[in-house]
């Protein structure tokens, strides 16, 4: 079986592991699944060959034999269903872990994506500075209940699951803003995620891609 | 078996079926599952009894025997896994349908949520008018590939699945902006979803709640 992932040829995050291929790399490492990575340039993302894998022209995609999947959430859930280590076996605990996976992607990440848009895409707009506090407040509204929950538990619901993998990945995108480290409970949670050997292997693999592309001899 | 859903006591959408309980109601109707609905006031959403069901203080939640789930995506997937009618049986087609479910929630919905924030939460800000075109452009970037795909198929990938249920639900939130009806391919797709008997039963049920609350005798 060959699993093939796509990732940015040159990630705009500077090798900090914030692009969405990292979520899939981490899941593959937790599941102990060897895999190939195909790098895609920004230009190639919008070409027919890649659009056949992902109609929105994004990374990551996963090819698993004849199956092609897109959306990091769907790929991570697919891996979690097929390999041990990312979902509990008990049906109720499994369903709750999937609730957290969706919470990361549809409740916590949207305001974080707004902050990215505000800081990067709208950086030169006249409202850029004045608007930032509103966007940051919208994020804090989501972080507060998460922080309270994690004050009493190592992970979101029992042991580490695909829900934690995605929540940690989403929260990591907040680190540059200072909002993550401003909350000791959340900062410690994310640090527990980063300390996992599978995370570290995945991080090193994506960093090696960035370093190879960025080196003068490349 | 009793399935119990939570919904807004008084939905801010005026009974147009745009709140997230509608997604779960629709899935329950597609799956032919009887269910109870518990209405929750805005005040009660932030009280401990509801926060025990959903730490973010949102609707919907689903109680299924002893199991409590939150996040409309997770609930709809849970129902689709347990009842016929929302996921194909073939494993690859099933995984692709789940890709579309995540695409609706994490690729298409975030810019639509931004538009809501821009039009409602930031309505009185000095940048409100000037900023709207940027947000609308971000939505169009997501709609274009979706529209192209739906120009040649009735649903996103073969027959109707949970991916279509969620994509139609997300796109419906665009109708007030005019962006949906500006695209005939997407407008026809959403209309096909709305024409399904299960959608119509779910819509009528949520509308009845709104009408009862809004009537002078209530």
Q: How many whole angstroms from its chain centre is CA B88?
A: 21
The angle formed by the CA atoms of residues B196, B198 and B204, to the nearest 5 degrees, is 105
Per the DSSP assignment, residues forming a β-bridge with B63 are B4, B68
Residue B149 tokens, joined: 């795909």
Cite the residue boundaries of each domain of chain A with CATH code 1.20.1050.10.
91-196
Q: What is the pTM of this model?
A: 0.97
Question: In this structure, are residues B171 and B140 in contact, taking their beta carbons and an 8 Å threshold?
Answer: no
Residues 6+ apart with CB under 8 A from A201: A29
Contacts of A130 in chain B (CB under 8 A): 125-127
Question: Is the interface score ipTM higher than 0.90?
Answer: yes
Residue B1: its pLDDT value, please? 62
Percent of chain B at pLDDT exceeding 70: 98
* CB-CB under 8 Å, B95 with A67: yes
Q: Are A7 and A37 in contact (CB under 8 A)?
A: yes
Is A74 in contact with B121 (Cβ distance < 8 A)?
Answer: no
Name the nearest CA neighbour of B141 among A153, A5, A56: A56
Dist CA A156 CA A189 (whole Å): 9
Cβ atoms B74, B106 nearer than 8 A? no
- Calpha distance B6→B35 (Å, rounded): 11
Tokens at A128, concatenated: 């850029």
Chosen from A91, A110, A125, A162 to mutate, greatest number of chain B CBs within 10 A: A110
- Indicate the average pLDDT of chain B: 95
> Residue B148: what pLDDT?
95
Kindly report, residue by residue over B164-207, the tens digit of the pLDDT.
999 999 999 999 999 999 999 999 999 999 999 999 999 999 99
Q: What is the pLDDT of residues A125-143, one digit of tens each?
A: 999 999 999 999 999 999 9
pLDDT in the model for residue A216: 63
Nearest to A143 by CA among A102, A202, A185, A113: A185
Which residue, among B41, B26, B50, has the nearest Cα to B200 in the 3D structure? B26
If 0-12 CB within 10 Å is exposed, 13-18 middle and 19+ buried, where does residue B120 land? exposed
Give the pLDDT of residue A1: 62
Per residue in B67-98, pLDDT (tens digit) is 999 999 999 999 999 999 999 999 999 999 99
> For chain A, what's the residue count?
218
Q: Which CATH number fits domain A3-85+198-214: 2.60.40.420, 2.60.40.3950, 3.40.30.10, 3.40.47.40?
A: 3.40.30.10
- For β-strands A36-40 and A61-64, DSSP reports them as unpaired
With CA atoms as reference, the chain A residue closest to B150 would be A55
A91-196 has CATH 1.20.1070.10 classification: no
Query: pLDDT at position A218, please?
Result: 47
A60-68 mean pLDDT:
95
pLDDT for res A213: 83
Record: contact B110-A110, CB cut-off 8 A: yes
Burial letters B196-205, b for 16+ CB under 10 A, else e? bebbeebbeb
Residue of A nearest to B115 (CA): A114
* For B58, nearest residue in chain A (alpha carbons): A107
What are the start and end residues of each CATH 3.40.30.10 domain in chain A?
Answer: 3-85+198-214
Has residue B53 got a pLDDT over 70?
yes
> Which chain B residues contact residue A71 at CB under 8 A?
99, 102-103, 106-107
């Amino acid at each position: 079986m060959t699993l093939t992932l796509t990732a940015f040829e040159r990630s705009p995050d500077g090798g900090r592991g914030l692009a969405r291929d990292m979520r899939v790399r981490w899941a593959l490492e937790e599941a102990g699944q060897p895999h190939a990575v195909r790098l895609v340039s920004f230009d190639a993302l919008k070409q027919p060959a890649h659009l056949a894998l992902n109609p929105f022209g994004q990374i990551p995609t996963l090819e698993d034999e004849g199956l092609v999947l897109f959306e990091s959430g769907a790929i991570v859930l697919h891996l979690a269903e097929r390999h041990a280590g990312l979902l509990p076996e008990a049906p109720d605990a499994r369903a709750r872990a999937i609730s957290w996976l969706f919470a990361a992607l549809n409740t916590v990440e949207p305001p974080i994506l707004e902050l990215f848009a505000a800081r990067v895409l709208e950086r030169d707009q006249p409202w850029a500075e004045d608007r930032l506090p509103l966007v940051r407040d919208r994020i804090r509204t989501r972080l507060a209940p998460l922080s309270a929950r994690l004050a009493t538990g190592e992970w979101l619901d029992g042991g580490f699951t695909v829900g934690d993998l995605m929540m940690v990945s989403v929260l990591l995108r907040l680190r540059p803003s200072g909002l993550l480290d401003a909350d000791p409970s959340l900062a410690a949670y994310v640090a527990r995620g980063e300390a996992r050997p599978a995370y570290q292997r995945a991080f090193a693999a994506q960093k090696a891609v960035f370093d190879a592309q960025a080196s003068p001899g490349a």
